[in-house]
Amino acid sequence: MNRVYNFSAGPSMLPMPVLEKAASELVCYGNSGMSVMEMSHRSPDYEAIIKKAEADLRKIMNIPDNYKVLFLQGGASTQFSSVALNLINRAPSKKGLYAVSGQFSGKAYKEAVKMGINAKCIATTKDDNFDHVPTITRDMVDQDASYLHICFNNTIYGTKYGYIPDCGDVPLVADMSSCIISEPVDVTKFGVIYAGAQKNMAPAGLTLVIVREDLLGLSDESIPTMLDWKTMADNDSMYNTPPCYAIYMAGLVYEWIAQLGGLEVMKEMNVKKAKLLYDYLDSQDYYIAPVKADSRSMMNVTFVTGDADLDKKFASEAAAAGLKNLKGHRSVGGMRASIYNAMPYEGVEALVAFMKKFAQENPKK
Amino acid sequence: MNRVYNFSAGPSMLPMPVLEKAASELVCYGNSGMSVMEMSHRSPDYEAIIKKAEADLRKIMNIPDNYKVLFLQGGASTQFSSVALNLINRAPSKKGLYAVSGQFSGKAYKEAVKMGINAKCIATTKDDNFDHVPTITRDMVDQDASYLHICFNNTIYGTKYGYIPDCGDVPLVADMSSCIISEPVDVTKFGVIYAGAQKNMAPAGLTLVIVREDLLGLSDESIPTMLDWKTMADNDSMYNTPPCYAIYMAGLVYEWIAQLGGLEVMKEMNVKKAKLLYDYLDSQDYYIAPVKADSRSMMNVTFVTGDADLDKKFASEAAAAGLKNLKGHRSVGGMRASIYNAMPYEGVEALVAFMKKFAQENPKK
């Protein structure tokens, strides 16, 4: 069995101890006589699994009691609709604010517009090819708005907010799909945090929503029940059958992080990995890192050679060397190394070594 | 490792060969160097997995080319909204018809009403405690309606339609969550078939939708994108990241069925299991099977002793004997044996033997 270093943006690497544990108990979990996949979601065995997952997540993220944790389905894309439908009535203006810092925040904005919501884009860095995130100041945030939506880490462009925008009394809603549990974050600064699980938490098919209680129950009666956070909160994410196995996997990941020492330790490990790669990028001029320094993502590192053919060759030869999925998103090209929690330091060392070798072997004309 | 016989209504048993294969390749799939859980959904390895899953399903269910197969998230409960939002505009009447044969068909109807849809219940067996399914005749189906929605097998009550209602030109929409791929079904008689996967197909977190192409693209522009079947069809279920691992597991189940000989063989096995249990129920008077003969489900077999305390004792002692989850749904009480595809014949034999022993040891007063 030869494991590769998988730099995929998502789904992406999971920690080896987690995979090995899951494999060892896949057919038969503990004394239950069955797989976790086969358990009734209302059985005591499964109740223990989902409760421990939530408790571990609350512990590592330091989630206050006045926030609900929901384990949902549908991906962040479903939340683009849910955010608008659940929150738009919060203020009489029924106006949703959006900052567009890349493809997914743009999709969230467009989804609101499509659904007939009064959505306003207050900031975008589109004219700069999203090479940094917008600077959002308090005066830009209309205080009569129902919410402000941002994407905290932009997977495709490799950018991240280096600060938490001050929104005054307007709830800040953040898509954290590609940076969730990569470092400590002050949950109290947000009204809602949501994330697809498939980048840093679990296999695809699970969506985490962390929502402040006063933001529940504001939707119109006509909201599709499964998109209504209050219904899901009132039923502890079990209004219907939840994605049980993905929640179990997320629980193993939360436990792994807790055992390592929590998000402070995780941040140290991630800083070390990202620093190795960015320091190399800053030390040479063969590769160009397009993202401005203050917006650099710790999870998704983008770079280009400046020559599309060389980029293609790079991704192809890297894959052959066991460094997989380094090709950038089809909408932007170049290379992207996603170095989530589960990527070992050795993987980034191997990448930098390969980059040096490739640069030597492929001089630019 | 002592595996039990798990009679859970869902999530429920998966075939042992499927679980063993999944366990053996969980950490590293083939030559990919990674787990299926870690694969980019757009990678060639994963594309092969999802394409084979769809091809095998099309083969075993004999799905015609003018039907799309969608692998979605959110459970059947999400489809209660999706059915109404996608189909209500099909006819100028904008009227949806519903037959209520149990809890989930009732929820589907209520969801349409809640969303402001013009929903009409044309038949219900509520007054008979849902001990049979409604008889729906052609004259009951308003021909100006957009669709008729039924639940083909009612998990909680243990009933199933023994016939396919003749709807004329009105598309028949069936929730088949608890009977999908248990026997051959004539797909051409339906406009839409949908099913949560966690009963007979895969772990929870995957929802199958089979939809006739002419029923795509009818929704209002304001439909949440993730509920729009056309968006999902146009993107081969990859508008966003699909529930990759659950689809992989479903693919293993489809392959298992194909290797056994397809749905005719599966039906033979299921008939044999159900017959063993129903024949025993009909041969004695200790246990009562409340469902009328023409509506009996082959997947969910309900029975009671007529004494709530004895029922409780039965479920408890059965569990201790390795026959798990025989307690009926909390809304109806009694016992329920869910004997899906993956339940071996030996499991039903063990159940009948236990039932005989329990009846002898616990004479009624």
How many residue pairs bridge chain A and chain B with CB atoms within 8 Å of each other?
A: 221
Answer yes or no: are the C-beta atoms of A211 and A72 closer than 8 Å.
no
Is residue A316 within 8 angstroms of chain B, CB to CB? Answer: no
Whether B13 sits inside 8 A of A38 (CB atoms) is: yes
Whether B76 sits inside 8 A of A11 (CB atoms) is: no
- Report the pLDDT value the prediction gives residue A1, as an integer from 0 to 100: 60
Answer yes or no: are the C-beta atoms of A205 and A246 closer than 8 Å.
yes
Nearest-by-Cβ selection for A74 from B73, B85, B324: B73
Is residue A28 within 8 angstroms of chain B, CB to CB? Answer: yes
For the stretch A37-65, pLDDT in tens is: 999 999 999 999 999 999 999 999 999 99
pLDDT band at A331 (very low <50, low <70, confident <90, very high): confident
Is residue B344 within 8 angstroms of chain A, CB to CB? Answer: no
Residues on chain B touching A4 (C-beta within 8 angstroms): 32-34
Nearest-by-Cβ selection for A243 from B38, B204, B322: B204
Whether A27 sits inside 8 A of B13 (CB atoms) is: no
Closest residue on chain A to B177 (Cα): A241
- Report the pLDDT value the prediction gives residue B333, as an integer from 0 to 100: 87
Whether A204 sits inside 8 A of B9 (CB atoms) is: no
Residue B263 has pLDDT above 70, yes or no: yes
Instruction: Return d(Cα A297, Cα A281) in angstroms, integer.
Output: 14
Q: Determine the average pLDDT of the residues in B56-85.
A: 98
Answer yes or no: are the C-beta atoms of B340 and B200 closer than 8 Å.
yes
At B103, list the tokens.
Answer: 């809890």
Instruction: Return d(Cα B338, Cα B320) in angstroms, integer.
Output: 18
Tell me the nearest-neighbour CA distance from A155 into chain B, angstroms: 14
Q: What is the percentage of chain A residues whose pLDDT exceeds 70?
A: 100
Is residue A49 within 8 angstroms of chain B, CB to CB? Answer: no
Is residue A85 within 8 angstroms of chain B, CB to CB? Answer: yes
Is residue B148 within 8 angstroms of chain A, CB to CB? Answer: no
Is residue B320 within 8 angstroms of chain A, CB to CB? Answer: no
Answer yes or no: are the C-beta atoms of A201 and A180 closer than 8 Å.
yes
Tell me the nearest-neighbour CA distance from A108 into chain B, angstroms: 11
Rg of chain A taking only CA atoms, in angstroms = 21
- Report the pLDDT value the prediction gives residue B352, as an integer from 0 to 100: 98
Q: What is the dihedral of CA A232, A233, A236, A239, to 10 degrees?
A: -20
Tell me the nearest-neighbour CA distance from A285 into chain B, angstroms: 30
Residues on chain A touching B19 (C-beta within 8 angstroms): 26-27, 35, 37
Q: Exposure string (b/e) for B284-294, b if CB count within 10 Å is 16 or more? A: eebbebbbeee
Instruction: Return d(Cα B299, Cα B195) in angstroms, integer.
Output: 14
Three-state SS at B239:
coil
Is residue A178 within 8 angstroms of chain B, CB to CB? Answer: no
For the stretch A179-223, pLDDT in tens is: 999 999 999 999 999 999 999 999 999 999 999 999 999 999 999
Answer yes or no: are the C-beta atoms of A7 and B33 closer than 8 Å.
no
Instruction: Return d(Cα A254, Cα A206) in angstroms, integer.
Output: 14
Cis peptide bond prior to A11, omega within 30° of 0: yes
For the stretch B309-352, pLDDT in tens is: 999 999 999 999 999 999 998 888 899 999 999 999 999 999 99
Rg of chain B taking only CA atoms, in angstroms = 21
Helix (H) / strand (E) containing B112? helix B103-114
Is residue B315 within 8 angstroms of chain A, CB to CB? Answer: no
Nearest-by-Cβ selection for B23 from A27, A114, A243: A27
Instruction: Return d(Cα A8, Cα B290) in angstroms, integer.
Output: 54
Q: Determine the average pLDDT of the residues in B75-83.
A: 98
Nearest-by-Cβ selection for B205 from A9, A76, A243: A243
Residues on chain B touching A37 (C-beta within 8 angstroms): 11, 14, 19, 203-204, 249
DSSP B78: H
Angle, helices A44-61 vs A244-260, to 10°: value is 40
Whether A75 sits inside 8 A of B75 (CB atoms) is: no
Is residue B242 within 8 angstroms of chain A, CB to CB? Answer: yes
Q: What is the percentage of chain B residues whose pLDDT exceeds 90?
A: 98
Three-state SS at B128:
helix
Whether B33 sits inside 8 A of A73 (CB atoms) is: no
Q: Exposure string (b/e) for A43-76, b if CB count within 10 Å is 16 or more? A: bebbeebbeebbebbbebbebeeebbbbbbbbbb
- Report the pLDDT value the prediction gives residue B365, as an integer from 0 to 100: 79
Q: Which of A200, A338, A208 is nearest to A263 (CA)?
A: A200
- Using H for helix, E for strand and C for coil, what is the string for chain A? CCCCEECCCCCCCCCHHHHHHHHHCCCCCCCCCCCHHHCCCCCHHHHHHHHHHHHHHHHHHCCCCCEEEEEECCHHHHHHHHHHHHHHHHCCCCEEEEEECCHHHHHHHHHHHHCCCEEEEEEECHHHCCCCCCCCCHHHCCCCCCEEEEECEECCCCEECCCCCCCCCCCEEEECCCCCCCCCCCHHHCCEEEEECCCCCCCCCCEEEEEEHHHCCCCCCCCCHHHCHHHHHHCCCCCCCCCHHHHHHHHHHHHHHHHHCCHHHHHHHHHHHHHHHHHHHHCCCCCECCCCHHHECCCEEEEECCCHHHHHHHHHHHHHCCEECCECCCCCCCEEEECCCCCCHHHHHHHHHHHHHHHHHCCCC
Instruction: Return d(Cα B55, Cα B106) in angstroms, integer.
Output: 33
How far is CA B50 from each of CA A188, A244, B42, B237, rounded to the nearest angstrom?
Answer: 40, 21, 10, 10
Average pLDDT of chain B to the nearest whole number: 97
Residues on chain A touching B26 (C-beta within 8 angstroms): 19, 22-23, 26
Residues on chain A touching B9 (C-beta within 8 angstroms): 40
Is residue B122 within 8 angstroms of chain A, CB to CB? Answer: no
Closest residue on chain A to B329 (Cα): A42
pLDDT band at B1 (very low <50, low <70, confident <90, very high): low
Q: Quote the ipTM score.
A: 0.98
Three-state SS at B248:
helix
Instruction: Return d(Cα A45, Cα A36) in angstroms, integer.
Output: 9
Whether A245 sits inside 8 A of B245 (CB atoms) is: yes
For the stretch B330-339, pLDDT in tens is: 888 899 999 9
Three-state SS at B57:
helix
Nearest-by-Cβ selection for A26 from B23, B114, B325: B23
For the stretch B126-176, pLDDT in tens is: 999 999 999 999 999 999 999 999 999 999 999 999 999 999 999 999 999
CA A344 to chain centre: 18
Mutate to test the interface with A, among B4, B8, B14, B40 (most CBs of A within 10 A): B40
Span between the terminal Cα atoms of chain A, in Å: 40
Return the residue matching tokens 């807790």: A258
Q: Is the pTM of this model over 0.95?
A: yes
DSSP B321: T
Instruction: Return d(Cα B231, Cα B225) in angstroms, integer.
Output: 7
Q: Which of B188, B277, B224, B217 is nearest to B73 (CA)?
A: B224
Instruction: Return d(Cα B61, Cα B205) in angstroms, integer.
Output: 21
At B323, list the tokens.
Answer: 């026959």
Task: For A304, list phi and psi in degrees, rounded to 5.
Answer: -135, 160
Instruction: Return d(Cα A104, Cα B217) in angstroms, integer.
Output: 24
Instruction: Return d(Cα B338, Cα B152) in angstroms, integer.
Output: 16
Size (chain B), residues? 365
Is residue B325 within 8 angstroms of chain A, CB to CB? Answer: yes
Return the residue matching tokens 């990569």: A182
* Residue A303 β-bridge partners: A335
Answer yes or no: are the C-beta atoms of A329 and A156 closer than 8 Å.
yes
Nearest-by-Cβ selection for A245 from B2, B203, B242: B203
Q: Determine the average pLDDT of the residues in A115-139.
A: 97
Tell me the nearest-neighbour CA distance from B29 into chain A, angstroms: 9
Which residues, 6 or more positions from B325, have their beta carbon under 8 angstroms from its beta carbon?
A: A40, A43, B6, B7, B8, B9, B319, B338
Answer yes or no: are the C-beta atoms of A92 and A143 closer than 8 Å.
no
Instruction: Return d(Cα A107, Cα A113) in angstroms, integer.
Output: 10
Which residues, 6 or more positions from B285, have their beta carbon under 8 angstroms from its beta carbon?
A: none
Q: What is the dihedral of CA B101, B57, A74, B214, to 10 degrees?
A: -70
pLDDT band at B191 (very low <50, low <70, confident <90, very high): very high
Give the dihedral sign, CA B37/B40/B42/B43.
Answer: negative
Strands (E), chain B: 5-6, 67-72, 95-100, 118-124, 147-151, 153-154, 159-160, 172-175, 192-196, 207-212, 300-303, 323-324, 335-338
- Report the pLDDT value the prediction gives residue A272, as an integer from 0 to 100: 98
Instruction: Return d(Cα B206, Cα B197) in angstroms, integer.
Output: 5
